[in-house]
Each structure stands twice: as C-alpha cells, then as structure tokens.
Structure 1
Amino acid sequence: MYKLISATPSPYARKVRIALLEKGIPFELQTEVPWHGTTATPAYNPLEKLPVLVLPDGTGVYESRFILEWLEVKHPEPRLLPDTPEEILAARQIEVIADGICDAVVLLFFERMRAAPSAEWMARQRRKVEGGMRALAERVGEGFLVGGRFGLADIAAGTVLRYLSVRFAEYDWPAAHPALAAMSARLELRPSFAATVPVPQNITEKIV
C-alpha cells in the first residue's frame, strides 16, 4: 500500500489526496508538520517538501505536480486529464495558475511571521493572488472547467479556493468572483473534497 506524507492545510497535498480518492487507490495517510525537526520528509524527498507518496519499496515520489503525473501513468483509470491535446494544455494551464496562487499565499504567510514584514513584498504577493484569481474567473462556467468532466483542472482550482479561506481569510474572493465561489461550493460536495477539508496546523518551531 502507498503512504502519503501530508500536512492538513497544504493544497498541494490535498490535490494528491483527492486524486488518490477519485482513482480509488488505497493509501495510508501520515500527517506531519513539515517545518518541524521530527518530520520524516527528508528521508523520502531531498527537497524536504510535502507531499510525498511513499511506495511499498520505500521509494519517495515527490512534488505534487509530478505525483499527479505519476498517478496518471501508473493508474490511468479513471482518467483525470482531458482527452484532446488542447484540453490537456488548458488543464495544465489552470494547474499552473492555481499553484502560482498557492505559492504566493505561502510566501505571504511566512512573511507575516517576520519581526518586520516587508509591505512591498506582501503587496507583490497579493497582486499575484488577485491576478491568478482573475485568470481562474475567466475560465469558470457552470460545469467542470475543462472537457465537460471532472479532472485535474477542477482539483487544482478547487483546492486553491479553499486554501485561501485557511491562509488568506481577509481576502473576500467570493464577493469578487461569485462564479468561482459557486464552483467551489459544488466541488466541496464531492466525497473526495469533503474527506480532505484543509485545517490549519500549529507551527511551534522557529522557521523564519
């Protein structure tokens, strides 16, 4: 059986958890705070980042985008990528946008921990978040994002939307983008989303 080393608020880990559930792949969930010295992450990922999918032979597959690609190759059914090259590229573009928003929120989160946060740095990250959200809003409709069926694009967009409520709650994105809010509400009703709701973790060790 696979083991997934995960953190409860991580949108990157949540993407993989959702994919595993949607594909019906059994796995053991190991929840950690990746910033603490007790994390097992370095034993499986030289970059010391989550998530990590640990294979039965002890090999670690890491970085969320690569794990999702790996799962699509090793466990192709049900398929999470669309059928045509154009739709695959569209789904990958949404994944890039969603990950970029997540990256900016993470940078904001840690900058706020500093004794003297940089207002200019935080403003830049907020612009990235808002720009990414506008790009997602341009692609949303009343159904699934790409190809008329649930897939990678919906996982990527759905996880970042919920993550904003965990790490950037002051940003009222539902008011700014009601169509995205409606899409998020639809996705959160799926069993795979309902089973992986992100919650904050308490970081007790100094990291910045």
Structure 2
Amino acid sequence: MKLIGSLTSPYVRKVRIVFLEKKLDVDLELENVWAADTKIANSNPLGKVPCLIPDDGGAIYDSRVIAEYADALSPVSKLIPGDNRERAAVKTWEALADGVMDAGILARLERTWRPAEQQSTAWVDRQMGKIQNSLRQMSENLGGNAWCHGNQMTLADVAVGCAVGYLLFRFPEIKWQAQYPNLDRLYQKLLQRSSFIETEPPAA
C-alpha cells in the first residue's frame, strides 16, 4: 500500500499513527498539495491528503475513511469498537478533533495565503472560537478518565492527540495545556508511544 501525504498534515499523521498501531506496512509518498506541480489531483480530485492507494489499485481518501479501512485490515490494536453506539461515540470524538484541525488550517491559510490587507480578522476569530469551544468540550468529556472512550486507546485518542499536537505545532499561542491539564495528561501519555514519536512533525 502507498499513502500519499505530507509530514506536517495532522490528518496524514492520524492515519500514519493508525497504520503503526495496527502494525501494517504502508509506504509514505510525500506530496506538497500547495506546489504548482502537485500531482495529487491524479489520485484525489479534491486535491487533498492523505490519499491511500491499496495494493489492488484505486484510491481511498479522507482521513476518516482511511483510518476506518486500516482498522478493519488487522485485528491488532482494535481502534474502533464493533458495537454501534460505542463506535458512534468514538467517531464523534474523531469528528470533534478533525473539526479542531479544520478550523486551525482555515485560520492559518487566512493568515499565510491572503495579503495582509485582505485578511479577515472576523474569519480568524470565528475559527479560533471553534477551537476554544472544542477544547472545552474535549476536556469536559474526558474528565478524569484515562482515555477518551472506554478503558483503552481508541481512534478517539489518536484523533485528539493529533489535533492538540497540531495546535502546539502551528498555534503555540493557544495555551491549551495550562487551561486543560487533563487533555495535557492524555497528550503526554500518547507522546510515549512510538507511533506518535515517529510521526512528530518536523520543526517549523
């Protein structure tokens, strides 16, 4: 299998962590979707990463779809519960974490792609508000539990770890670790895992 992605995308990091936790081999092919000569549209017409090319060809895209596909490939380290209600709970955590990454990327693009005189402070503030609301919800839902859902690591924890890690990477001014120490405890625990260590984004 081949995974098309980048080293800084939190969505790519999420699926890379899933493959590592599942002990599945996948070759990472680096692609800069913002480059003029990018070829990502040949595999994903949306022009986004990650994009998985299975051994039988074709393409699977969107990090949530790839993560679910990978989890079903091996019984090792089951990350998505089989029970429908529990599965929905884990996937809701993932949606919340992905939403944090969505908002962060939109805010970052506004600041880095638009000329200063065209940037919308109101738009950035709206995205920052989504991030703050989501962090508060994550912290409330986690409470004093060891994991986001159940008594072992699931895709919920992987997604949350990638989301808060992305904030540290791109938005260090958001002092979420001091504000939500329970989220930080979870993050520090995740950072001990080789899957998180191996996928740490390079220094900006």
- TM bucket (normalised to shorter chain) is over 0.9
Q: Secondary structure at the match of 1:9?
A: coil
- What residue in structure 2 maps to residue 51 of structure 1? 50
Report if aligned partners of 2:190, 2:196 keep a CA contact under 8 Å in 1: yes
* Deviation readout 1:41-71 (Å, 9 max, x if unpaired): 1121111100011122432111101111222
Query: Are 1:90 and 2:92 matched, yes or no?
Result: no
**TM-score w.r.t. length of structure 1:** 0.90
- What residue in structure 1 maps to residue 121 of structure 2? 119
Q: CA deviation at 1:76?
A: 4.3
**TM-score w.r.t. length of structure 2:** 0.92
Report if aligned partners of 2:68, 2:80 keep a CA contact under 8 Å in 1: no
- What residue in structure 2 maps to residue 196 of structure 1? 199
Report if aligned partners of 1:9, 1:200 keep a CA contact under 8 Å in 2: no
Q: CA deviation at 1:84?
A: 3.0
- What residue in structure 1 maps to residue 108 of structure 2? 109
Q: Distance in 2 between matches of 1:57 and 1:87?
A: 31
Structure 1 unaligned residues grouped into runs of 5+: 202-208
Q: CA deviation at 1:144?
A: 1.6
**Given residue 137 of structure 1, which amino acid in structure 2 is its aligned partner?**
S
- What residue in structure 2 maps to residue 206 of structure 1? none
Percent identity (aligned): 38
* Deviation readout 1:50-107 (Å, 9 max, x if unpaired): 0011122432111101111222333344311124333212111111110111000000
- What residue in structure 1 maps to residue 184 of structure 2? 181
Q: Secondary structure at the match of 1:165?
A: helix
Once the two structures are superposed, the pairs formed by residues 67-82 of structure 1 within 5 Å of their partners are: 67-82=66-81
Q: Distance in 1 between matches of 2:166 and 2:131?
A: 12
How many residues in Structure 1 have an aligned counterpart in Structure 2? 200
RMSD of equivalent CA atoms: 1.5
